[in-house]
Structure 1
Amino acid sequence: MVTERDFKDFMADVCTPVAVVTAMADGLPHGTTVGSLTSLSLRPPMVTVALEQRSRLLPKILRSARFGVNLLGAGQADVAGVFASSAAERFDRVGWCPDDGLPRLRGAPGWLVCELRRHVTGGDHLLLLGLVTRVSGTRGAAPLVYGGRTFGTHSGAAPTNTRSLTDRITAFAH
């Protein structure tokens, strides 16, 4: 039997992109940090994000059927922390502006505007399937990722193992 601890420890070693999902409700911005942003489809362009079923943001997205995705960049771990907290004044602590009727974080290198097409229950989360209606951002910016229970980045400029792919495949095969 898989224990919750075993599963959490395994998943801690999986690097995930860090984003802040946002929505507007009653003229106020709302948002939360997620590590579950995934590309779903190219035709049409769709993404998925997962929110806990008890998330305060979830009913706002379900009601409006729209959400924004602010892809965070390297150096924005503090922003991720703000939106992962339960603080009510999250948007008072970061720069943001309305963009296409949704809260967009200033300095986030990537931005998606999504229409909610469907939601699917998955355990204690709801998987949101969003049709991407707008994309903007800085190509090539180093993303903020979460893995090994810490924030970091991945970039083509980051140091890597210098062995060639052929050497690695050969070593793996033997």
Structure 2
Amino acid sequence: MTADQVTAPSAGPEVFRSLMSTLPAGVAVVTTADVDGTPWGLTCSTVCGVAMDPPTLLVCLRDESPTLHAMRRTSAFAVNLLHEAARDTAELFASGAADRFDRVEWTRSPHGASPHLEGAAHAIADCRITGTVGIGDHVVVFGEVLGVRHPTEDERVPLLYGFRRYSSWPVEP
């Protein structure tokens, strides 16, 4: 059977959303700085490693996202992987609040000036855009990883999102 022989209709957005809500994922805040230095960012649970050489990851963002538009203008972004105590940060950046960067501590990256949320992240990757692919109402952004930081000395447990709620990875003593 070939792809053109599959005649079933698409599952539809609500059915697809119900499927994806059952897949727990790490929570990240994707950030960038626009050409004028304005910080942008949003909560994202679609982050995936793609290749080891060159080190590349992907993020999927809504095609109308102001953060995506700023990323495309500068070709740079950071992926802030949140730890379990950063639920408030995840919710803040998911809200789209205009003052979100006024309500969190952040510093500029040495690679492209993308904001680092050091107090909320257990790891941060600075990336350069190497490609994009539009699919439906989202854009897959591929980023070559230029640097990685672990802001804290202690091992932090990642924040997870699945089944429409936040959780964390259970840690064995």
TM-score by length of 1: 0.86
Runs of 4+ aligned residues of structure 1 deviating over 6 Å after TM superposition are: none
**Counterpart position of 1:146:** 161
One-letter amino acid of the structure 1 residue matched with residue 62 of structure 2: E
- Give unmatched runs, 5+ long, in structure 1: 159-174
Q: In 1, Cα distance between the equivalents of 2:172 and 2:149?
A: 22
How far did 1:59 drift?
1.0
| 1:13 match: secondary structure | coil
SS at 2:104 equivalent: coil
- Partner of 1:73 in structure 2? 83
**Residue of structure 2 equivalent to 1:19:** 28
The residue type paired with residue 149 of structure 1 is: R
Counterpart of 2:18 in structure 1 is: 9
Question: Quick one: percent identity of the two aligned structures?
Answer: 35
**Aligned residue for 1:134?**
147
Counterpart of 2:52, as a letter, is L
Q: Is residue 19–residue 70 contact of structure 1 (8 Å, CA) maintained in 2? A: yes
* SS of structure 2 residue aligned to 1:84: helix
Task: Structure 2 unaligned segments of length 5 or more: list them.
Answer: 1-8
| Equivalent residue pairs, number | 158
CA distance in 2, matches of 1:83, 1:152: 17
Counterpart amino acid of residue 69 in structure 2: P
Contact 1:113 1:135 (C-alpha < 8 Å) held by counterparts = yes
Determine the C-alpha separation between the residues in 2 that align with 1:42 and 1:155: 28
Alignment of 1:148-163 (within 5 A): 148-157=163-172
Task: Mark the structure with the bigger radius of gyration.
Answer: 1
Q: In the alignment, is the contact (CA less than 8 A) between 1:70 and 1:104 conserved in 2?
A: yes
Say if 2:160 and 2:168, in contact at 8 Å, map to a contact too: yes
User: Tell me, what secondary structure is at the counterpart of 1:88?
Assistant: coil
Corresponding letter in the other structure for 2:116: R
Question: 2:13 and 2:115 mapped to 1: Cα distance?
Answer: 34
Counterpart residue number, 2:118? 106
Cα distance in 1 for residues equivalent to 2:169 and 2:157: 6
CA–CA distance in 1 between the matches of 2:96 and 2:55?
Answer: 31
